[in-house]
Amino acid sequence: MTTASAKDAAELYEHFKVLGQEDAYTPSHCESIRLLVEEIQDLKRSEDAVILAHNYQRPEIFEVADLVGDSLELAKRGKDFRQGTIVLCGVHFMAETAKILSPEKRVLIPDAMAGCSLAESVDADDLTAMRDELKLRYPDLKVVSYVNTTAAVKAVTDVCCTSSNALRVVESLDSDNILFCPDENLAAYVASQSDKNIIPWKGNCYVHQQIRPEALQRVRKARPEIRVIAHPECRDDVLAEADAVLSTSGMIEYARREDATDFLVVTECGLSDRLLMELPDKRFFKACQLCKYMKMITLEKTRDALVNGRDEVLLSPQLCEAARGSIERMFELS
């Protein structure tokens, strides 16, 4: 068995911290969180609002959320709430997706600047130009876009996908040639599992792109028993080091199901917070990669969104209509 040297251990803790050892949550900070949580719960009732939160949010946001999940869960289940206002604690494309699926509702995002490097790596005009050019060579070409895209990109997409259903969506299409947009890493992962011709758009998530295989190898050396679970937005040399490649919701199910107690969670750090809250008997080491966009959402801004009715997501009915088809086709295929 390999054992860790002191140097390895020091490097390990530079890269991965055990949850619960940070001291940001002082008693006075926790008290202010408690008061804000109570205020937001009251506002939700008076404003007829529901809060949907992505897995990568701060742990205190989970306290006020009516639903916590990955992009697919938020899109699929979020539209079924009866409340007239949706507050989306996540990034802007998620709030747009909520609006596309519930155009009659008021959709608020606590900070409109919460974007996404992946969604911003493609625009609708460039995608249309590439699609039209490729169709000359591959007449049966279909455009599959990750849900991490703007409403305008969804409007020129045949079918959307998420990391949990990307392979299933691609396999169920009656086309052998797929323009896969915008995550080149997820495209490569799907291509490794499929016989279809997957043509990637050259975009990536800056959070997952920063993770290197050497960091995982150091952890494995220090803790040979650890189970490594990685998100398919990571580079392929990182995925090659993983015991399982899973979406965020897939990681939760895997950690719940497996007998192992120690997991290295190779994705944005917020998921580890949710895992610890749901599975307190297990230990989760995290990749110390924070999404600066996801972390722009705070309890204070969530309270202010409900008080001031902003930032509201506004999309034309025509754009909602054009974009909705690609999401509904995903629901049908997956």
Taking residues 104 to 143 in sequence order and writing x for each that binds ligand SF4 by CB under 6 A, - otherwise, the string is ------------xxx-------------------------
To the nearest whole angstrom, how small is the minimum distance from the Cβ of residue 284 to ligand SF4? 17
Nearer to ligand SF4, 276 or 291 (CB): 291
The span from the CA of 135 to the CA of 78, in Å, is 35
Quote the CA–CA distance of 118 and 183 in Å, as a whole number: 7
Q: Nearest distance from residue 9's CB to ligand SF4, in Å?
A: 28
- 148 part of the interface to ligand SF4, by CB under 6 A: yes
Residues between 208 and 267 with contacts to ligand SF4, criterion CB under 6 A? none
Chosen residue from 294, 299, 306, 313 binding ligand SF4 by CB under 6 A: 294
Compute the least distance from the CB of residue 250 to ligand SF4, in Å. 16
| 260, two tokens | 């192992």
Sketch the per residue contact string, 69 through 108, with ligand SF4: x for CB under 6 A, - otherwise. ----------------------x-----------------
Among 156, 291, 297, 330, binds ligand SF4 (CB under 6 A): 291
Helix (H) or strand (E) holding 199, with range, is: strand 197-200
Contact positions with ligand SF4 (CB under 6 A) in 21-60 = 56
Helices (H), the chain: 6-15, 27-46, 59-62, 71-78, 92-101, 124-137, 151-155, 166-172, 184-193, 206-209, 213-222, 236-239, 248-257, 270-278, 299-308, 317-333
**How many whole angstroms separate alpha carbon 49 and alpha carbon 46?**
8
Residue corresponding to tokens 């989970």: 62
The CB-side HSE value for 286 (13 A sphere, CA atoms) comes to 21
Residue 36 vs 116, nearer CB to ligand SF4: 116
Strand partners, 265: 229, 286
One residue of 122, 205, 215, 251 binding ligand SF4 per CB under 6 A = 205
Measured distance CA(249)–CA(231) in Å, rounded: 10
Q: How far is the CB of 91 from ligand SF4 (least distance, A)?
A: 4
Q: Residues binding ligand SF4: what is the number (CB under 6 A)?
A: 13
Please give the Cα distance from 258 to 260 (Å, whole number).
Answer: 6
In the complex with ligand SF4, which residue's Cβ is closer, 178 or 207? Answer: 207
Task: Give, in degrees to the nearest 5, the angle at Cα 116 between 272 and 88.
Answer: 70
Nearest approach, Cβ of 138 to ligand SF4 (angstroms)?
Answer: 28
Show the 3-state SS of 141-158.
CEEEEECCCCHHHHHCCC
| Binds ligand SF4 by CB under 6 A, chosen from 72, 143, 178, 207 | 207
| Interaction site with ligand SF4 (CB under 6 A) | 56, 91, 116-118, 148, 205-207, 268, 291, 293-294
